[in-house]
Structure formats: C-alpha cells, structure tokens
Amino acid sequence: MSTTDGRLAVVVLVSGSGSNLQALIDAAASPASRFCITGVISNRPGALGLQRAVAAGIPTRVVDHTLFPDRHSFDAALAEAIDGFSPGLVVLAGFMRILTSDFVGRYAGRMLNIHPSLLPEFQGLHTHRRALEAGVREHGASVHFVTDELDGGPVIAQVRVAVKTGDDEASLAGRVLAREHELLPQVVGWFASDRVALRDGRAWLDGKALQEPVECCA
C-alpha cells in the first residue's frame, strides 16, 4: 500500500536494539526516499527499537509473545497489528521469532528479513561465532524474501566483510552490522521503486531473475 504522498508504507518488526530500524528511519527522512515507515512493532516491550521509533514520531505497537499460549495465537495478533498499518512491505529487522507458515504466506512477496551471514551459510543463530569457528575469510549479511524455510528464502542482496586476524565475535559483528545499515535501506528502496520482486520462487531485480545475490552497495 502507498501513503498519501505516494511512498510505500513499510512496517518494521524489531526485537532489540533497532539499529537497522534506525538506518531505515534515516533513509526514509531523505526527500528522495520512495518509502516511509508507518509503524514499528516489537515482541519485546523493552526493545530499544521502540524508543527509536517514538523519537522519530512513528506509531508503535507491542505484541508480547510471552502473553500468548502458542505460535498461532501470537502470529494472529501480530498480523492484526501489522494490518492495522496497511503496509505494502513488512521488514524483519532483528525480529527474533520463528513465524508460522500461515503468517509467512499472508505476506508472501512483501516481507523481507535481514540476516547476519552470507546465506545460505550460517542460517539460524550465533552466525558470527560460527563463522569464526569455521575459519571463513569472508562473512557478511543478506537481505532475503521470507518464505517457509527459516533464513532460506531467495536472497536479493548481500554485503561482504573480510574476517581479520584477531577478530572476535564482537568485532566481527560490529563490522557486519555497520554494513547492514547500508544494505537494508538499499534493498527496501529497490522494493519501494518496484525494482525487486518475488516471482516463481525466485528473487527478481529489474525484470531479471537473480542467478546470485547482488553485491551491495555499488
């Protein structure tokens, strides 16, 4: 859906610090931005991301997962909160909940996730630690369409970060996160400009099915 000024309405879901949300807020503040953030939702009442949204004048909702007996009832309440903002795109920006298939299907082709690894490497949690343990020389982050497969949907774009001698989890995570802040607004901007789509189970950019993720950000 579009807002009254024609920009794409985006709802962002966060569980924690919300630094990626902040990158989106900052990008949306540019007059050239094709999207605006109409709502921020968190499953954690204390998430710093909620404070960032309030500071930017963006409406917030909390759907606290601990108050629901199962995933289906939580996801139903989450969907109701999202739909209340009538978004054209839902962005999972550090949203740390596994979602049901019904929920994912409802937002098929209009839900993106940012994941801190070069997918398909290191799906799931503790990606930086696992990358260091595996001894990889390159690590990074990916933005992908959300599908039923956890961290397994078609990847649109990635940032690559060299692993340095002496890196620990915190130093590597910090460098990856800084690059996430370039990657996420870039891909959301593409989506808002109708440049990116999910079609036939693949990610498309500018009318072509991607053979591999685009490297961000040229």
Active site residues: 115
Stretch that binds ligand GAR, among 14-22, 37-45, 160-168, 195-203 (CB under 6 A): 14-22
Residue nearest ligand GAR by beta-carbon distance: 94
Of residues 142 and 209, the one with the C-beta less far from ligand GAR: 142
Alpha carbon distances (Å) from 14 to 22, 49, 134, 196: 11, 6, 29, 23
Of residues 1 and 178, the one with the C-beta less far from ligand GAR: 178
Write phi, then psi, for 33 (nearest 5 degrees): -65, 140
CB of 164 to ligand GAR, least distance (A): 18
Write phi, then psi, for 187 (nearest 5 degrees): -70, -40
Q: Which of residues 94-113 bind ligand GAR (CB under 6 A)?
A: 94
Using rule CB under 6 A, residue 180 touches ligand GAR:
yes
Using rule CB under 6 A, residue 16 touches ligand GAR:
yes
List Cβ neighbours of 194 (8 Å cut-off, separation of 6 or more).
Answer: none
Residues that bind ligand GAR in the complex, under the rule CB under 6 A:
14, 16-20, 49, 93-94, 114-116, 141, 177, 180
